[in-house]
Amino acid sequence: MSGDGPIGIAVVAKEAGWTSHDVVARARKLLDTRKVGHAGTLDPDATGVLVLGVGRATRILRFLTALPKTYTATVVLGSETSTQDASGEVVASHDMGEVTVDAIETAARDLVGDIEQVPPMMSAVKIDGRRLYELAREGTEIERPARPVTIHRLDVSDVDLAAGTFTIDVACSSGTYVRTLGADLGAALGGGAHIRDLVRTSVGSFGLESARPLEQIELLTPAEGLADLASIKVAEDVAAEVRHGRVIERVRLGVDGDGPWGVLSPGGELLAVYQPHRGTTVKPAVVLVG
């Protein structure tokens, strides 16, 4: 806590029935600050890891949003819904009684790697200044350009052919829609599908074991919140330049590679996040402590 209110990163275990905005609004009341944001929307029906930024730490949420994520979900074969999950209305039904375990596993393997996804209409993607979910609620469906995502792992388990269900365990890049992955699996199997019981099991290194119920919200320091980024602890003379947002030689900052890098004070406080600049220099992407 500082003079301008609480600052830090919170790893929340979101409950079903809450929108990500609901979680942010409640966190603002619990922490008595308006400065709360989240690092990647979770669907209202979904549960699991939702990372919040509080105070000046909202400035580093973009680095957390970009982290890879993992999920589990149940795929329900035979019915497509308006939302691609169990909350929507059934819009198409298919007889998929001939689907085999081998076919399911093959379809899953074929979706691993770099793929393109068409965002669902019930999503927060903006097209021409409008959120897709706003258009969907007005009964409008528009063309959506496909976007590149990466599926690092897509494991299948608990196949119940009689019920037409199976579990998927997904590791993917930021921006992946697991609902759409379920729909794509259904299409690849010659029919359609939707998902239920979606759980985000991790954001970067923050797993379910790290998440706290919203009413027991706890703040990590910004430095702890950026544990997945490479970081460098600098001497006080360099820290003074970092606090002023100066462009610095790579050698002076002591970094290599592509970045970005968290820059820590001698005492371990996160001062800024730096990124490559021109030639042999680096510059701040964001400064937290001036």
**What are the residue ranges spanned by the domains of the chain?**
8-64+206-221, 69-203, 230-287
Under DSSP, is residue 113 helix (H, G, I), strand (E, B) or coil?
Answer: strand
What pLDDT score was predicted for residue 120?
Answer: 77
Q: CA 100 to CA 77: how far, in whole Å?
A: 12
> CATH code for 230-287?
2.30.130.10
What pLDDT score was predicted for residue 3?
Answer: 54
What pLDDT score was predicted for residue 1?
Answer: 43
226, burial (CB in 10 Å: exposed 0-12, middle 13-18, buried 19+): buried
Give the ranges where the chain is alpha helix by DSSP (H): 20-31, 61-65, 101-110, 132-137, 178-188, 222-225, 236-243, 250-253
What pLDDT score was predicted for residue 253?
Answer: 93
What's the pTM value of the predicted model, to 2 decimals?
0.91
- With tokens 């899953």, the residue in question is 108
> Would you give the end-to-end CA distance of the chain in angstroms?
16
- State whether the Cα torsion 8-14-17-19 is positive or negative: positive
What pLDDT score was predicted for residue 2?
Answer: 47
What pLDDT score was predicted for residue 152?
Answer: 98
CATH of 69-203 given 3.90.480.20, 3.30.2350.10, 3.30.300.30, 3.30.1600.10: 3.30.2350.10
Nearest-CA neighbor of 195 among 181, 216, 205, 212? 181
Q: Which residues of the chain, if any, have pLDDT below 50?
A: 1-2
- Give backbone dihedrals phi and psi of 192, rounded to 5 degrees, phi first: -160, 170
Which of 22, 32, 43, 237 is an active site residue?
A: 43
Which residue type occupies 280? T
**Which residues sit opposite 261 in a β-bridge?**
230, 274
Cis peptide before 120 (omega within 30 of 0): no
Q: CA 183 to CA 114: how far, in whole Å?
A: 17
- Give backbone dihedrals phi and psi of 250, rounded to 5 degrees, phi first: -50, -45
- CATH fold, domain 8-64+206-221, is Alpha-Beta Plaits (3.30.70)
43 is an active site residue = yes
